[in-house]
Amino acid sequence: MSTLRQPSGSYNRVWFITGSSGGLGRALAEAVLARGERAAVTARTPQRVREVIERYPAQALVLELDVTRREQVRKAVAQAGDHFGRIDVLFNNAAYAQLGAIEELDDVQVRQQFETNVFGLMDVTRAIVPVMRRAGRGHIINVSSVGGFAGRARLGAYNASKFAVEGFSEALADELAPLGIRVTIVEPGRFRTDSDRRFAAVVPTDIADSAPLGIAGHQPGDPSRAADAIISAVNADVSPLRLVLGADSLAGIRAKLTAMQAELSAWEPVSVDTAFRAKVEANT
């Protein structure tokens, strides 16, 4: 197990947190501020987070940010940099889940899902990487999901967007490691947040096999404990590329890995039997 690098009292990290009005973003903002660290707390509706940071007026900066609006992204990052002088940790949390069977979703619903979950996350990341590169350090945390590792009926658009976040994050980790910047993908399961009330325009389905997604208010995960786990990953001497949060997420990911391994083994002869064969010259 990796050891933890606890910040000294004089080290006051600056976090940039998107999607802070609820869910893991809000829980993390509260946790880092309570620890004495500083944070740019962003949300599409800043009024929804003001009461969270009123207790920490010297540590927190509330910023309006819709990650799908590139001009707001650039402005918010510049304001945070000017106010704090640096950005040490980026927590890309802004996202939502588009619910509906794939054949029932229209182009607008699918594209909007990617605008927020993928392109918005990429825009914020690309705006902050130069700040971290100049400092020679930083940590980017991209929130994926167990749904970014294993697909599920009626969440195809959401799954596709989170799979994209995972691929982007893996490549980003390779690119930034030589610069002293870390990348971690967070893969939560079901946490007791307002996320189940934030499913976009729930699409009534006639598909008989569509499975229920569970009951809001009965999710097993505690957001405050998830925030502590994320902070531990940032403090670690060797941070994980993937941080799985929740026993349900761990079980789902392990089940898929087991199934993948079995399928790879079963089809290995077919997989490897695709190379060019040397031509045998006929005897003359």
Could you give the residue numbers annotated as active site? Answer: 144, 158, 162
Instruction: Name, in order, each residue with C-beta under 8 angstroms of 218's C-beta and a sequence gap of 6 or more.
Output: 192
Distances, alpha carbon 64 to alpha carbons 76, 123, 280, in Å: 7, 15, 70
Distances, alpha carbon 253 to alpha carbons 117, 128, 232, in Å: 21, 30, 21
CA 199 to chain centre: 17
The string of DSSP letters for 195-239 reads: GGG--BS------TTPPP---TT--SB-HHHHHHHHHHHHHBSS-
Task: Please give the Cα distance from 31 to 22 (Å, whole number).
Answer: 13
Residue type, 150: A
Q: What angle do CA 168, 174, 178 make, to 5 degrees?
A: 140
Task: Please give the Cα distance from 82 to 278 (Å, whole number).
Answer: 64
Calculate Rg over the CA atoms of the chain: 21
Helix (H, G, I), strand (E, B) or coil at 85: coil
Q: Are 181 and 139 in contact (CB under 8 A)?
A: yes
Of the candidates 271, 240, 92, 100, the residue with the CA atom closest to the CA atom of residue 164: 92
Identify the residue whose tokens are 């195809």: 156
Under DSSP, the state recorded for 45 is S
